[in-house]
Amino acid sequence: MEFAVYILYSKDFDKSYIGFTSSIIQRFYSHNLLATKGHTIKFRPWTVIYLEFYQNKSDAINR
């Protein structure tokens, strides 16, 4: 399984968010549309400004 480390940016609020996931498309939809609670819903919309991939979860977390 591949893991992605990503940085999101909210232009409207000048905020960045760093996260990791094994499903980047689903996670991006969650940040922008699906989630009903959590930190990122307050700063929508988000744009992916950086993305890198790792072969295992521990490497993604350490990054």
Asked whether residue 41 is assigned to any structural domain, the reply reads yes
d(CA 1, CA 56): 7
Residues of the chain scoring pLDDT < 50? none
- pLDDT, residue 56, reads 96
Number of domains the chain is built from: 1
Domain that holds residue 15: 3-46
Asked whether residue 52 is assigned to any structural domain, the reply reads no
Asked whether residue 63 is assigned to any structural domain, the reply reads no
Question: pTM above the 0.75 mark?
Answer: yes
Asked whether residue 53 is assigned to any structural domain, the reply reads no
> What is the percent of the chain with per-residue pLDDT over 90, rounded to a whole number?
98
- Let me know: does 8 contact 19? Beta carbons within 8 Å: yes
